[in-house]
Structure 1
């Protein structure tokens, strides 16, 4: 549908396009007002169904071969996941596997094998009849295996790290080379935990990263002897990213810097900067490496706006051509290497849940179609109606000043065609808390905007993506303290700018965002009229201690044990005074103060937030006579469970916000959804008459 705007509206729309595509943030009245006016001038969006707004794409992973001549992808079809391959010279793709549990894939360095990785194992698939398919490594069992990368010294091999002994007391760590037949070669054995490694072109260990005394150490290996070159505090980023021809490695790190950047590590431990955010705002989001020698070629930043930078002049020239043909888009690249090699260009947008892929030919400087994701209904897995991008909200990056003077970041989503001042406002803190909102599609924010709500997503201090000082500024104050004050300050600042109806403000979040929602409703009832908390920790200190006792959640990554990492963030779960303070400020300890309705959502298989804590909190609210509803699915995990479970959660959010804030009423549930709610809505509260 073609939109027809008056001249003034077209001018405002043009202004908005410039603002959203540029690094300018809405941190002053003029910039924010231009965005508000442009959104007000748009046509009112038609109501879109939950199923359409919750749709997802069918492609779970896609990879270009190192020679840039073939593309492989994993596609969901109903309950199955298929492996597809297309040779660029041949327009017709072919299906290699009809069903695989793999969630990600990669190519061997010689391009003859595809590597399929699931949570259970790693399989090698011959691309053109070199021997079929076979499992080459297991990720389960008494020993733990983790894949580092493909081996750049071999045509077709991967590097794995293996732990010997129980997780609580391992006796040794091994760096393994595993070929496509599953043949294992021990490259290095170490009594300390191996984190990463770099091999030289002859297959010898050149650089090693391991844990020593609670810290990360990078060692240069000469004649089989490791020599320490750089020590990293575990609270800092310190990731090896390949080795240059002179033997020095690249490092993605915030050592000696506030923000994560790309550096070269000298043999003497000196760090020479290769690239950092030219706007001085964002950490590196992603490095795009050469598929053959693993040298970094592009750097992506995506904390406030999407920016992609090339490190070499030839790559920069080609990137400029691609960006000129796809202006204002969030792009990701996979470059091929060699004569006749193409690049794979991925196109994303905050107004589209589906991605598109194009092939770029560096020899002709032309783009050609490759693949568009097909919309899938989240519940049925079948085809869905494509979203009308012109009707969706366009998020705007924001900056505002907290009450203590710190500049903070976030995003604002306004419903098209409506008066922002009259719209109910929904605040959506992110989970983590060590995480951040990025400029990308989010189904909940789009759904809320489509229902007429203004949506505010604060990246409070403690968030990642904006530098070490920004993250560390939380200072472990995760109760009803400084971090929560950022959420409140940002909400009040937006209201003062004429965004949202002050009498109709709600707060919705998941995980730590759900905890923040409960804090808001408990301690700021005059501001927040309703709270929805999905898989929330009612007591943040308690859930941290629970996590450390849970073997399945002992590590936040494959790098640093969780307890060590928490201490690096200033949180010591053995510090009684700190834990007592977090408890005293928790929603669980302040049930009597709550006077706003609350919807809780929990999962019986949640391995991040123990369901017992959520149930206890709901029971205390019920006994105290509070307005509480609880949706508890015994089969759901921390990610929300099945598509039906997620739609049920969304329906209840719509219902709760409609009742308390006066937004659009939800479409009536069908029979399947009603049945799910009958089984799992354990406390209906006043949601169900």
Structure 2
């Protein structure tokens, strides 16, 4: 079969798929199809992109976390530099920022309510640093598995304190749960004690508990507390969400919830249990992504949605006017805000783009409505230093949100990335399912999709049913059918629909993904080899049911940070790992149980420190493929976890993906690896297949 089939040879198959797609479509898809036609024409008319170095497209920013103080006068950030993480502070009244710490293990920052203390959280502890007035610094609490303690929030009822949740007893047999206030000197006060697991809490101005969320018999409950008496207000299945956000002026609670509805929305929960909607997606397709609150009274002021398009909505007239100013000055970006309140307060405005891996931060003065640049991320190269090359945004792919109909009529969503200046029908197509599966693609920068588009591939990212971001019904519609069933058909339906629209060469279609996306890639080449010609699977579970049971044996599944046990949560999604028949069905449909059916080449990538997908399962699957004389390549990095590991590990994966797709789909050949990358590949490529460097 030729990798360079002519358009005339492809046309009969495209016509057939187009007919199928038209039969499955409804008038509601007409607008999406029109948008796709415009997008294809616009992208084809753009100037072709230069071939960019692999490292440029894979670069990541150096900022780990950044926080504005509640009074809007200070900004602190954690920055990666080489093997160290630095803490920086910028006082708005000063011209230059200053470095507070040259090396810290902190991964997240918070400010005390009065803005005088900076809180540094790591996996092991919580530290406080005085940045205004008298004070010092020091460890105020131990965190993590060994301490059975987790930070819940800053205590908004006190000038300078935090709220911790502590467990008494073991993970498997807790005796009690405590809500504890800790001040900046480490002094502790028990605010509430409960026999049920405490998930969240809201405190009144006098420091007493007004609202509490806890686990009750594998369900989540929100209780209102008055004079130490708890009254249940809402009790719901853990598959639903009702997150406490703040206390309204009348004593009701601001919540992010999908209780009594489908899409997650902002609502106000009365003490009588009534929900009053405040804001939901005007297009009725997306869950709330984030809520931007007033740092003093915690009322919602802005609501963001990012399931299809990045949109930000202001909840009052004054904030809407400020948002209009920001949009006029930062057109086309995805804006995230942190608000300061008070005299001379500033707002911190983060601007990001699907066409730039690096973010920028600005300070906005609401009084003068002026904007000034604060900080631009420094790219980090594979050696941990600063990379000098800046990504040219105009040369990169621009994702298009898609909506199409599955073969059973359900409307589904996803994204398409095309290389500028190319005829979409002539391109090899790579399908990239997301991981999770309880996750979703957002309109944001993704290095793999940009890399593939820059190399001349069309990239399709389906948000199959079971994905989050589009409502509870969208998630539960998967029906736990995560084998070669309904979820996988969503991916193949979307691929065939896209081919029928004139996107991609039907003879040159590959599938690539990580975690559940890697599992889906293996399912694709195992059960639909007529469609998918090659698979790349990074940290993939070869048997999804087996991996679920393996994770449940891991203490992380009962970690204090979660609301309910993972087993309970899975049952809320329709998956019962104790159901032998259901697990047997998943196994029978797994890539591991169907090695003999595989006809296409596979690239596997695994990590020795992966705590979600065990290395042994991936190695066993690779060994079975090798014994069955299947075409397989395997890369194992003993130091890498589920997230992929070091920068050089990320570049090695990208190189192998380029090489595999070039070999099987006729795409652009990869640039030769430099000596460091070549040594890494020789050391970690356990089964090189045809990909030996």
Cα distance in 1 for residues equivalent to 2:187 and 2:511: 54
Aligned equivalent of 2:86, options 54, 57, 82: 82
The question of 1:640 aligning with 2:644 is answered yes
Match of 1:233 in 2: 237
| C-alpha contact (below 8 Å) 1:242/1:294 kept by paired residues | yes
Q: How does 1:68-467 map to 2 (within 5 A)?
A: 68-128=72-132, 130-140=134-144, 142-467=146-471
1:31 matched to which residue of 2? 35
Residue 177 of structure 1 deviates from its aligned partner by 0.3
Alpha-carbon distance, 1:671 to partner: 1.0
* CA displacement 1:487-542 (0-9 Å, x = unmatched): 00000001001100110000000000000000000000010000000000000100
SS in 2 for 1:477: coil
Structure 2 counterpart of 1:489, from 493, 504, 507:
493
On the 8 A contact 1:27/1:399 being kept in 2, the answer is: no
1:52 is the counterpart of 2:41:
no
Moved more, 307-316 or 404-413: 307-316
Equivalent residue, structure 1, for 2:600: 596
Deviation at residue 247 of structure 1 after TM alignment: 1.1
Q: Give me the whole-angstrom Cα distance separating, in 2, the residues matched to 1:555 and 1:568.
A: 18
User: What SS does the corresponding residue of 2:119 show, helix, strand or coil?
Assistant: strand
Displacement of 1:428: 0.2
Q: Which has the higher contact order (CA 8 A, sep 6+)?
A: 2
Residue among 614, 621, 633 paired with 1:617? 621
Measure, in 2, the Cα distance between the counterparts of 1:627 and 1:108: 57
> Any idea what SS the aligned residue of 1:674 has?
helix
Contact 2:557 2:565 in 1 (8 A): no
Q: Please show how residues 480-559 of structure 1 align to structure 2 within 5 Å.
A: 480-554=484-558, 558-559=562-563
* Closer/same/farther in 2, CA of residues 274 and 404 from structure 1, 3 Å limit: same
Q: Is 1:679 aligned with 2:679?
A: no
Residue 128 of structure 1 and its aligned partner are, at CA, apart by 3.3
Is 2:46–2:420's contact at 8 Å kept on the other side of the alignment?
yes
SS of 1:367's partner is strand
Distance 1:238 1:658 in 2: 47
Task: Judge conservation of contact 1:253–1:260 (CA < 8 Å) in 2.
Answer: yes
Q: What secondary structure does 1:257 align onto? A: coil
Tell me if the contact between 1:252 and 1:263 (Cα under 8 Å) persists in the aligned partners.
Answer: yes
Tell me by how many angstroms 1:133 deviates.
Answer: 1.8
Q: Is the 8 A contact 1:400 1:409 kept in 2?
A: yes
Pair 1:83–1:497, CA change in 2 (3 A) = same
The CA distance in 2 between the partners of 1:599 and 1:505, in whole Å, is 15
Structure 2 stretches lacking a partner, 5+ long: 1-27
Tell me, in whole angstroms, the C-alpha distance in 2 between the residues paired with 1:126 and 1:557.
27
- Please tell me whether the aligned partners of residues 604 and 611 of structure 1 are also in contact (alpha carbons under 8 angstroms): yes
Task: Give the match's secondary structure for 1:323.
Answer: helix
Q: Which SS does the other structure have where 2:36 is aligned?
A: helix
Deviation at 1:555, TM superposition (A): 5.0
- Kept after mapping to 2: 8 A contact 1:26/1:399: no
Q: TM-score, normalised by structure 1?
A: 0.95
Aligned to 2:379, the other structure's residue is in SS state coil
* Aligned-partner Cα distance in 1 for 2:80–2:30: 39
Structure 2 Cα separation of the partners of residues 303 and 173 of structure 1: 36
SS at match of 1:171: strand
* CA positional deviation for 1:380: 3.5
What SS is found at the alignment partner of 2:524? helix
- 1:377 to partner: Cα distance: 1.1
In the alignment of these two chains, the number of paired residues is 666
Residues 417-457 of structure 1 show CA distances to partners (whole Å, capped at 9, x for unaligned) of 11111110000000000000000000000000000000000
Between the aligned partners of 1:123 and 1:272, the Cα distance in structure 2 is 39
Contact 1:263–1:273 (Cα < 8 Å) also in 2: yes
Contact 1:461 1:473 in 2 (8 A): yes
**CA shift in 2, pair 1:155/1:26, >3 Å:** farther
RMSD over equivalenced CA pairs, Å: 1.3
User: Which has the higher mean CA deviation after the structures are superposed, 307-316 or 173-182?
Assistant: 307-316
SS in structure 2 at match of 1:421: helix
Displacement of 1:25 in angstroms is 9.0
- Separation of aligned partners in 2, 1:228 and 1:674: 61
Aligned to 2:659: 655
Any conservation in 1 of the 2:145–2:559 contact (CA below 8 Å)?
no
TM-score (norm 2): 0.95
Map 1:620-631 → 2, pairs under 5 A: 620-631=624-635
Structure 1 residues 61-104: Cα deviation after superposition (integer angstroms, max 9, x where no partner): 11111111111111111111111111112121111111111111
CA distance in 2, matches of 1:252, 1:467: 13
Q: Would you say the 8 A contact 1:25–1:397 is kept in 2?
A: no
Q: What secondary structure, in the 3-state scheme, does the structure 2 residue paired with 1:178 have?
A: strand
**Aligned partners of 1:592, 1:202: CA distance in 2, in Å?**
67
